[in-house]
Amino acid sequence: MEEKEGDYGAFMEKFELKGATSSNLPLQGLTFAVKDIFDMEGFTTGFGNPDWARTHAPAKSTSPVVLATLNAGATCLGRTVMDEMAYSINGENKHYGTPINPCVPDRVPGGSSSGSAVAVAGKLVDFSLGTDTGGSVRVPAAYCGIFGFRPSHGIISTEKVIPMAQSFDTVGWFARDLQTLKQAGQVLLQLPPETSNQPTRISIPRDCFETLGLPTDKIYQIMNASSEKIYSSELIDNEDLDGYIYKNVPSMQKFISNYQGKEATLPALAAISHAMRLIQRWEFKASHEEWINATKPNFGPGIKERIYEALTANYDDLDLCIAIKAELKSALDNLLENYGLLAIPTVPGPPPKLLMDATVLENFRAKAFSLLSIAGMTGFCQINIPLGMHNNLPVSISLLAKHGSDMFLLSVAQELYATLKEQASIAWGSAS
């Protein structure tokens, strides 16, 4: 990767690939960037690691998602840096450099779609494509103070996208404003427009905000006040999510006792995260073990340990984890009914500082995955909504909706956004 100036280190390579030029195309005049995990004809897909790039030939064809974006009139301005093998939510890459977070330069940008988020946050492109398995769109969106969308699992094609863990892999995207996010979404999702933007229930679980979030950000109060103002207090449900999951996911108790998860503050959510990561490791191993053993690649710190853990883990509980996944989806389908929303913090707090101590970071990651694994294990869609800067740090909230409710979720976000911003200003006072 050549040295870059003025682009926050977001790009692996820059070029201008013009999209279709007929009139009235939905993305005409917009620019975008593509994570280095998508195949594009003539380019080597690097997967965040030079040994991967060295041992793979240039792609012979282009991912359908990238083609759809070009055919809708958008111009591609380059391919972006990512975490190695998509196996991190931090955004640091020892080989290609860590893209600079335009929002808070002394903090990580989030990963693994780090460069794609930074390219949008730094106003280098209008929107960008990333992937999200365990949080790789939602986390960098939250850390960089922009919108990020993880679609319902399986709704958007992952063909010609390098797999990380197929049960959870999704193609997501970033934008600085909701209109662009929705425009890109209409092209990528290929779903009919949503007729309703009226939720029938809004679950704002107190435990997720008070135990896993940062109470000083006041996002629990902001979300409750906004929902009450736009909709009605009768739709709001503040029941704790951890207790609901514990009661309604039958395999949960056995699994918690199997891995001694009782000491977690929210044991059911910690168990969901633990189950997701076990399935993820298993699928990662199935896809990549042969290449890793043959190539013996050079991996950066943190990534190396995580990858070798996947290759050597005990998978005795795999069937139990798969059962929990199905049971959780059923339980949350029942909670949200047809047009329900679930609001949670996207991440447990502000982006960690660059090169943060590994022990502190591990605690933060554990809390983060208790939140992130909800969409992963249910296949639900999730949007990260930036609320602005508080104490000079970005603050976000996430909304989730049932599988297939992607256009409904985008419509509700549009309906709520101005009020969320207004309530954030009130909650934070004029100092923010």
Q: Both tokens of residue 15?
A: 């070029």
Could you say which of 63, 88, 112, 273 is catalytic? 112
φ and ψ at residue 118, rounded to 5 degrees? -65, -40
Among 75, 79, 111, which residue's Cα sits nearest to residue 10? 79
Q: Which residue has the tokens 């029938």?
A: 200
**Tokens 């070798």 belong to residue:** 308
- Please report how many Cα atoms fall inside a 13 Å half-sphere around the Cα of residue 239, on the Cβ side: 15
At residue 171, φ and ψ (nearest 5 deg) are -95, 120
Which of 88, 113, 128, 136 is catalytic? The answer is 136
The answer to whether 35 is a known catalytic residue is yes
Angstrom distance (rounded) from CA 238 to CA 31 = 41
pTM: 0.97
Quick check: is 112 catalytic?
yes
Catalytic residue among 35, 182, 329, 367: 35
- Structure tokens belonging to residue 32: 């975008």
Question: For position 72, what pLDDT does the model report?
Answer: 98
Our measurement of the distance from residue 146's CA atom to the centroid of its chain's CA atoms, rounded to an integer in Å, reads: 12
C-alpha 415/C-alpha 419 separation (Å) is 8
β-strand pairing of 340-344 with 201-203:
parallel
Side-chain-side CA neighbours of 344 within 13 Å: the count stands at 28
- Is the CB of residue 337 less than 8 Å from the CB of residue 363? no
Asked if 1 contacts 13 with a C-beta cutoff of 8 angstroms, the reply is yes
Query: Mind listing the pLDDT tens digit of every residue in the chain (432 residues)?
Result: 444 458 999 999 999 999 999 889 999 999 999 999 999 999 999 999 999 999 999 999 999 999 999 999 999 999 999 999 999 999 999 999 999 999 999 999 999 999 999 999 999 999 999 999 999 999 999 999 999 999 999 999 999 999 999 999 999 999 999 999 999 999 999 998 877 789 999 999 999 999 999 999 999 999 999 999 999 999 999 999 999 999 999 999 889 887 665 567 899 999 999 999 999 999 999 999 999 999 999 999 889 999 999 999 999 999 999 999 999 999 999 999 989 999 999 999 999 999 888 788 888 999 999 999 999 999 999 999 999 999 999 999 999 999 999 999 999 999 999 999 999 999 999 544
Tokens 């999702």: give the residue.
189
